[in-house]
Amino acid sequence: MNFTKKTGIGTPAVIAIVIVVAIVAAGAAYVASSGAAKTTTATVTATSTAVSTSTATATKTTSSVITSTITQSGTTATVVSTLGGTTSVITSTTTATSTASTTIVSTTTATSVSTQTTIAQPVLPATLTATSSPISQAGSSLLYPLFELWAANFTQKYSNIQLNTAAGGSGAGLSGVEGNTINIGASDPYMTAAQSNAYPGILNIPVAVSSQAVNYNLPMIPATDHLNMTGNVLAGIYNGTITTWNAAPIKALQSASIAALLPSSTIVPLHRSDSSGDTNLFTTYLSDTSPDWAAKYGAGNTVAWASVPSAQGESGNSGMLTACDQTEYSIAYIGVSYQAQATADSLGNAALQNLAGNYVVLTTTTVGAAVNAQYAATPPNEKITLIYGPGANSYPIVNFEYVLVNQVQPNTTLAADIQAILEYATLPQYGQQAYFLNSPATGSLGFLPLPNSIAQLSWAQIESIT
């Protein structure tokens, strides 16, 4: 997948601008423009002394924020701008002279210096020292199939290392690292501000790009067709206000031919009964699209589900997949690593409405479009939501899969081994290969590799483990 990075302020450059402005009377104001990225304003007094202030602005197609600080000293203005962890410093010097005809000549020189550091690819050690106990990893059931592959191949490379993997849900991954009962936790969402405040020593490190489908069991709908769904309608299904498949709000979203096939059967909404990152992703999409859902239920690994008589709680993605497969007229949210089996079981796959108002089906192309539109805004701590992001072709439930690990480990041997495991997972020649992420030979898990700049941020965090 090709990821194209966008930044708000470019590479180092020197710009010389000469502006001639006719002034009706001495002491009048003038505005000198140096393009969309910078505006310089100077006011000339009767003594022909110019005072210049500068404002840096930029336009970006994603939801990132550019912050600029301006310092003025005499005729020198310094602008410090920050965008997604990149800092640019622009220094402007403006000189003005007044002639009898009150013509002012202003020359501005701007130099932009990027302070973003490029992190070199880590080099895996030739050998590792084994810890006295096996290294444990558990958490997200969505990430579990991928971590199983990583662990099996990592321990082939380092045969003296024992690495045990398990699922259990994202909540179990977090609580295990918090309680020091596991070494590496796996989570679909990153830790909340409150969780990080309570456990400031836990790192949130992206290791892959993931996504989530909305599947359904409707045998009368051809597998080649996709029901259209909006967040509002899904919220109605899960809060119990939409109870049958041929309800007007559902039919209104479909083509006439598909709407005619919808049965009057009761919908069976399936949700996770465990503390689940998939629940977090799904309810975030509902909250982003339905103000009513956001106000009444919100988003999280667990939510107080509405009392819907036909609803069923299931444990793990495997439980959701099995229940959806076995229960006609059911609907479920299931992680991408289980979609190959969902397709084999002839489960439907909904086309979800994105922020641009388009209905898009989960594919590597639509997931990649969502990542491309947003990843440049990722901060150094790598906590960013990609759900319901911009882009005409962006799939709306997309996320980075995170590992949670304590930055300070009990001993240097364990720290070195954990670093090597996570580097193996995030290096392009190892764990980021298609063989692991999305190869038919290994189950077509549907993951995408990290964009290079995101991998670099992950390597920086991994390097900080001591």
Residue tagged 């005072």 (tokens)? 51
Query: What six digits make up the tokens of 435?
Result: 């063989």
Statement: residue 370 has pLDDT above 50: yes
What residue spans define the domains of the chain? Answer: 14-114, 133-466
What is the third-level CATH fold of 133-466? D-Maltodextrin-Binding Protein; domain 2 (3.40.190)
Look up residue 3 and give its amino acid: F
C-alpha span between 183 and 177 (Å, rounded) = 6
Confidence category of residue 86, pLDDT binned at 50, 70, 90: very low
Name the more confident of 64 and 158: 158
The DSSP annotation for 168-227 comes to: E-HHHHHHHHHTTS-SEEEESSPPPHHHHHHSTTEEEEEEEEEEEEEEE--TTS-TT---
Look up residue 218 and give its amino acid: L
Average pLDDT over residues 170-174: 96
| Cβ-Cβ contacts under 8 Å for 178 (sequence gap 6 or more) | 198, 199, 202
Confidence category of residue 118, pLDDT binned at 50, 70, 90: confident
Average pLDDT over residues 325-344: 97
Residue 39: predicted pLDDT: 33
| Cβ-Cβ contacts under 8 Å for 183 (sequence gap 6 or more) | 135, 136, 137, 177, 405, 414, 418
Statement: residue 278 has pLDDT above 50: yes
DSSP helix, strand, coil percent of the chain (3-state; round to 5): 30, 30, 45
Q: Is the pTM of this model over 0.85?
A: no
Residue 117: predicted pLDDT: 67
Statement: residue 339 has pLDDT above 60: yes
pLDDT digits (tens, 9 = 90+) for 219-268: 999 989 999 999 999 999 999 999 999 999 999 999 999 999 999 999 99
pLDDT digits (tens, 9 = 90+) for 401-431: 999 999 999 999 999 999 999 999 999 999 9
Statement: residue 388 has pLDDT above 50: yes
Residue 454: predicted pLDDT: 98
